Amino acid sequence: MCTSDNDKLFLSQLDDAVYLCQQRQKPYFFPFLSERKQAVAKHYLDSVCFSTYSFFGGYDDSERKVLGLYFYDEIESFPVTALEITFRKADKLTHRDFLGALMSLGIERDTVGDILVEDGRCVVFVKSDISSYITSQLFKIGNAGVKIKEANPETLPKGRGFDEESYVVASLRLDAVVAAVTGLSREKTKQLICSGNVSLNFLPCDNISKTIESGDSLSIRGKGKYKINGVLGETKKHRIRVSIIHYR
């Protein structure tokens, strides 16, 4: 599980946070975490039998989430604020434009959650303690003028979207599923997995025979992110048909 110095530092921070939460009997909040760090955190907290925690990114199905540890009752309010940024549809601003503008304000990446963009509108989730600073400082993104206010989280841009496709595989082994979605040969698929370029549920997995289950997430470097949406049944030749979501 612990594969790098960054992982070791993060686990040390988790250990300290659990101690502080228990000693002070007050909630403890981490910044926004990537899906991989969420998986690392969950594994560690479960291993030390600390069950009073939850993740929240501002809306259902968010990718980046704040981790909250609590002592008694579940946290009712996370320090997460949604900001709506509006601009001319003709300006065609992208996720990268918004992230770059926010970083240029001198704020840290882990204080920013998901950024959802559509024509003329963006909703960005941030730690609440920096929301007023962003509102008072952000007037232009590139050459485009913008207006910013607190967003209604009930009406969000659709974001990047996804495609849902079905594949026929010989089995639900990791190598069979990866080969299906990438179109690579068996040997190249094996090399891809064994070289650490495939993550299962946001953690690196080099076990080519690992069984994939419905609901599992796959990240393949250079190919994208996928989710096993469900097993649709068997073909007449006893191969397995699976539904897989590919996030754009």
pLDDT digits 0-9 by tens, 197-218: 999 988 889 999 999 999 999 9
Provide the pLDDT confidence category of residue 159 given band limits of 50, 70 and 90. low
Residue 2 has pLDDT above 60, yes or no: no
Q: What is the mean pLDDT of the chain?
A: 92
Tokens for 204?
A: 């690196």
The pLDDT assigned to 217 comes to 92
Confidence of residue 60 (pLDDT cuts 50, 70, 90): confident
Q: Domain check: are 51 and 115 in the same one?
A: no
Do both 184 and 142 map to the same domain?
A: no
Tell me: do 234 and 171 sit in the same domain.
yes
Instruction: Tell which phi-psi region holds residue 215, choosing left (phi > 0), alpha (psi between -120 and 50) or beta.
Output: left
- With bands split at pLDDT 50, 70 and 90, how would you rate the model's confidence at 3? low
Secondary structure element (H or E) that encloses residue 227, with its range: strand 224-234
User: Does some domain include residue 243?
Assistant: yes
Q: Is the pLDDT of residue 243 over 80?
A: yes
- Same domain membership, residue 85 and residue 51: no
> Taking 70 as the threshold, does the pLDDT of residue 84 lie above it?
yes
Per-residue pLDDT, averaged over 106-128, amounts to: 95
Can you tell me the distance from the alpha carbon of 133 to that of 138, in angstroms, rounded to the nearest whole number?
8
Residue 248 has pLDDT above 80, yes or no: no
Range of the domain at 191: 162-247
Q: Residue 239 is part of a domain; what is its CATH number?
A: 3.10.290.10
**Can you spell out the DSSP letters for 8-73?**
HHHHHHHHHHHHHHHHHTS-EEEEEE-HHHHHHHHHHHHHTT---EEEE-SSTT-SSEEEEE-SSS
Query: Residue 124 to residues 25, 98, 110, 145, 225: CA-CA distances in angstroms?
Result: 31, 9, 13, 17, 21
Question: Does residue 74 form part of some domain?
Answer: no
Comparing 64 with 71, which gets the higher pLDDT? 64
pTM assigned to the model: 0.77
pLDDT attached to residue 4: 65
> With contact defined as beta carbons under 8 Å apart, do 85 and 121 qualify?
yes
Is residue 189 a part of any domain in this protein? yes
Report the C-alpha gap between 62 and 116 in whole angstroms.
10
Residues 94 and 145 in one domain: yes
For 206, list phi and psi in degrees, rounded to 5: -110, 15
Q: Do the domain assignments include residue 119?
A: yes
Q: Which residue has the higher pLDDT, 103 or 160?
A: 103
Domain count within the chain: 3
Predicted confidence at residue 160, as pLDDT, reads 60
Quick: pLDDT tens for 169-198: 999 999 999 999 999 999 999 999 999 999
Number of other CB atoms surrounding residue 180 within 10 Å = 19
Whether 195 and 215 map to the same domain: the answer is yes
